[in-house]
């Protein structure tokens, strides 16, 4: 009953308007253009049509094992086809908002706003007819487009204000989606809370910034505290992600992504993010990095060898950029700078652009050609030996059994 009452309270508050204290956004979302470009001869990219159907989607793990650790190829094909419009929307908004944050070119901004307006006019993704996978797609899409929209509305680019009617249309839609995401995840029992809830918390939290709704941010904070309470006091692992067996390490990375990004947002707004459950976030990050260096560590606990494809990549480790905002002196056991720019459409697109201010302003290679170098041709255990820093690698190897934070 308390959860239902909380949802009703949020819905009622959504009708009040923006009579809230100002919510802050991390500084990188507000950056001035790095490479000002006012070229008006730019065409908007092709965008997907608004999705108006029900959110009853096939899980890519359908019909496999209970741990959801084996992908069913046929189910994956169905899932990709059913969710293609949302995937494309996430990609398009991330790309346009990246370009706007880099250049300040109003064409990129207007292209993104027009796409979002079309989806908003259709009340897309608000169907009450949804299943677990559909709810997941809704909150992932909200995370991506809310983070992209935040980059647009908070940017310091010297451009005319967004038309009030368009702003109201888009934000009204995103607000309804945020409230629906809360309804989707508010009643999960603690025993079932996992990475899906963390992504919901990030999606709602980043939406709170431009909606200026402290109640939404508070809900995200409560989910964050709940997540910290799940971090095992001895191992630093997340028990519900260990249940994914051979994908446990992958899902630890996937769980850390929204938690670290949300921690930066919360800390920016004065919330305590480190003290919970004996420095749970630090222990979780440390344990995840140790297992990335030595997957056997997680294999022993998850009782299955770990699939490590694409873990050490600019997307798999994208959360390092916000982590280094929280912990600038953190020890990272990779030459991870090779992977920049670190990107995740659901966390805001180019996270190097958002969080690594000093790097992007001083790096001529980033400014001229923001693409990561190829590293996947290195053949050595486990991902490519020279991606690891020799001294740090040796340090982690010596200390891999420690349970106290190494970073």
Contacts for 249 with CB less than 8 Å, ≥ 6 apart:
288, 291, 292, 295, 298, 302, 306, 307, 308, 311
Whether the Cβ atoms of residue 70 and residue 80 lie closer than 8 Å to each other: no
Here the tokens at position 135 are: 């709810």
Whether the Cβ atoms of residue 30 and residue 210 lie closer than 8 Å to each other: no
Whether the Cβ atoms of residue 347 and residue 318 lie closer than 8 Å to each other: yes
Q: At what angle do helices 214-230 and 2-14 cross, to 10 degrees?
A: 150
What residues are paired with 343 via a beta bridge? Answer: 350
> For the stretch 72-83, what's the b/e string if a residue is b when 16 or more beta carbons lie within 10 angstroms of its beta carbon?
beebeebbeebb
pTM for the predicted model, two decimal places: 0.88
Domains for the chain: give ranges and CATH numbers: 28-33+47-166 (1.50.10.100), 188-407 (1.50.10.100)
Whole-number Å distance between alpha carbons of 279 and 314: 26
pLDDT in tens, the chain (407 residues): 444 444 444 544 443 333 335 999 999 999 999 889 888 889 999 999 999 999 999 999 887 777 777 788 999 999 999 999 999 999 999 999 999 999 999 999 999 999 999 999 999 999 999 999 999 999 999 999 999 999 999 999 999 999 999 999 999 999 999 999 999 999 888 888 999 999 999 999 999 999 999 999 999 999 999 999 999 999 999 999 999 999 999 999 999 999 999 999 999 999 999 999 999 999 999 999 999 989 999 999 999 999 988 788 889 999 999 999 999 999 887 778 888 899 999 999 999 999 998 888 887 667 665 554 433 322 233 444 444 455 554 554 454 444 444 44
């Amino acid at each position: 009953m308390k959860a239902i009452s909380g949802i009703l309270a949020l819905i009622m508050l959504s009708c009040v308007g923006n009579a809230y204290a100002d919510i802050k956004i991390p500084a990188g979302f507000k950056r001035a253009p790095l490479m000002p470009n006012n070229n008006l001869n730019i065409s908007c990219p092709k965008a997907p049509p608004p999705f108006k159907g029900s959110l009853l989607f096939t899980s890519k793990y359908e019909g496999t094992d209970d741990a959801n650790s084996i992908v069913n190829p046929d189910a994956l094909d169905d899932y990709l086809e059913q969710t293609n419009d949302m995937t494309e929307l996430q990609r398009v908004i991330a790309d346009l908002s990246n370009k706007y944050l880099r250049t300040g070119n109003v064409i990129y901004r207007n292209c993104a706003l027009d796409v979002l307006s079309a989806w908003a006019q259709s009340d897309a993704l608000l169907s009450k007819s949804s299943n677990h996978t559909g709810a997941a797609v809704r909150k992932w899409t909200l995370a991506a487009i809310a983070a992209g929209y935040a980059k647009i509305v908070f940017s310091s680019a010297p451009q005319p204000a967004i038309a009030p009617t368009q702003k109201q249309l888009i934000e009204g839609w995103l607000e309804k989606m945020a409230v629906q995401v809360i309804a989707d995840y508010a009643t999960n029992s603690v025993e079932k809370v996992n990475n899906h809830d963390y992504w919901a918390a990030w999606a709602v939290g980043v939406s709170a910034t431009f909606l200026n709704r402290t109640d939404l941010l508070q809900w995200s904070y409560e989910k964050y505290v709940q997540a910290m309470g799940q971090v095992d006091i001895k191992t630093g692992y997340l028990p519900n992600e260990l249940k994914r067996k051979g994908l446990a390490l992958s899902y630890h990375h996937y769980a850390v992504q929204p938690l670290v990004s949300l921690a930066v947002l919360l800390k920016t707004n004065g919330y305590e993010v480190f003290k919970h459950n004996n420095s749970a976030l630090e222990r979780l990050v440390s344990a995840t990095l140790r297992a990335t260096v030595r997957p056997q560590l997680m294999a022993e606990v998850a009782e299955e060898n770990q699939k490590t494809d694409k873990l050490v990549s600019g997307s798999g480790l994208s959360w390092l950029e916000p982590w280094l905002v929280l912990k600038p002196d953190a020890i990272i056991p990779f030459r991870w700078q090779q992977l920049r720019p670190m990107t995740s459409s659901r966390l805001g697109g180019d996270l190097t652009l958002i969080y690594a201010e000093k790097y992007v302003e001083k790096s001529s290679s980033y400014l001229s050609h923001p693409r990561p170098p190829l590293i996947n041709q290195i053949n050595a255990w486990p991902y490519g030996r020279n991606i690891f820093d020799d001294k740090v690698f040796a340090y982690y190897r010596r200390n891999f059994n420690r349970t106290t934070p190494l970073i």
